Structure 1
């Protein structure tokens, strides 16, 4: 079987916008993941297909760049395709378009396969690697390399893990981590509009945990560095870098 790009259409809903009437970054990431789900379902390797084998998909990294945020009621088209493999890392790209064909944003992501019982990453099984990756678009540059740590956090906040933070994998859903990173920041930063986010998921957090969110200045005025840590285990859960419009 060959893997081809898929297209999914979404309408921006009122529950997914900020007070300027534009879709939020977590909402856009949710659209992209939903499009990925549809594409993998058509290939027979969706999360449900993996769960039947005691496995699941886990997002390891995602880098998103937005050129224009769609507004409430606007219809968008999310195109996604498998863009390559590196050992246990599977790459998937996304592009977001308006109905008129305007490129609104793009993203590249890295996925792993996890054993749901052992909670450990495993080698990519044959039923996935047997699918030939045939992207018909130029792949975006892979998200690679380490992210710098915030040396002196300027903003901190504690986030208790509650029932609605948990997803099908029984851990905090990745869009919630992204939301917590942004919720830690003051209004004057959020009003500048997020241009780019690069986020690495390092460990899972479960119901009853408390997450410490920290953010500090990056290498430029428009850049912030972020870290999420479990207060129960001390594990670093997430690293991120955000870039804002000046």
Structure 2
């Protein structure tokens, strides 16, 4: 069977920023919640995978905000898988206002990793056999290697953060939304106070764990875009690379 997850949320104060707009981390958390519910309906939820010794890991995520919902607004969030191949499952999200206006959309690419070896494995057959909905118009698939992966961070501003217990999810690594909050906190204060994000494009490279120290860097790319990098302080390995676009 094919399932489209549809959830309705009314925005609470702690989900909004200093200007009353829904925050990016709050929106991503709701998207993740709806994706979890949809995965459970398909029989591929976190618990289903854990029984087989594997877990979900987000590899790519691109969020576009067309119009920000605000405190007290009610939104409808829809999500569904679009395609499944040997190593990846692709999932779309759409956020609508009560009048049907498209507020935001997102594309994502997920992989499965071995809980024991902490390394990527092919999607198990029980995942590859699922049926994506046929009556949806999928967004274009994300490139696995976007151009900003090769950007230089030689002149980037940098700060250090340590992974806390509340940053860890059920897969025993840092939740993907925690990284986004850290990288947004690293953006120049004038941009944060005078602009708003139109798009954020993310590449997750490896996992990090409780007590790890991470280096968070950002560098201006153009008048309207900022590049981001989060790396492991000790090894120097990239954990996350991203580009944010501002208006």
2:74/2:98 contact within 8 Å kept: yes
- TM-score, scaled to structure 2: 0.94
Given the alignment of the two structures, is residue 206 of structure 1 paired with residue 209 of structure 2, yes or no? yes
What is the CA distance between 1:155 and its match in structure 2?
A: 2.3
The residue number in structure 2 matching 1:99 is 98
1:17 and 1:152 map into 2 onto residues whose CA distance is 33
2:173 and 2:147 map into 1 onto residues whose CA distance is 23
- Give a deviation string over 1:164-223, Cα, whole Å, max 9, x none: 1111111111000001110001221113000000001001111111110111122x3101
For the aligned residue pairs, the C-alpha RMSD in angstroms reads 1.3
The residue number in structure 1 matching 2:241 is 239
Counterpart secondary structure, 1:158: strand
2:9 and 2:133 map into 1 onto residues whose CA distance is 25
2:155 and 2:29 map into 1 onto residues whose CA distance is 28
1:96/1:105 contact within 8 Å kept: yes
Runs of 4+ with deviation above 3 angstroms: 150-154
Structure 1 unpaired stretches of 5+: none
1:187 and 1:113 map into 2 onto residues whose CA distance is 37
Residue correspondences, number: 243
What is the CA distance between 1:134 and its match in structure 2?
A: 2.8
1:153 and 1:10 map into 2 onto residues whose CA distance is 41
- Give a deviation string over 1:18-62, Cα, whole Å, max 9, x none: 100111101111111111111111111111111121111111110
2:3/2:41 contact within 8 Å kept: no
What is the CA distance between 1:85 and its match in structure 2?
A: 2.3
The residue number in structure 2 matching 1:29 is 28
2:134 and 2:219 map into 1 onto residues whose CA distance is 38
What is the CA distance between 1:106 and its match in structure 2?
A: 0.2
- TM-score, scaled to structure 1: 0.95
1:150/1:227 contact within 8 Å kept: no
The residue number in structure 1 matching 2:38 is 39
2:8/2:74 contact within 8 Å kept: yes
- Give a deviation string over 1:66-106, Cα, whole Å, max 9, x none: 01111112211111111112330110000001122111000
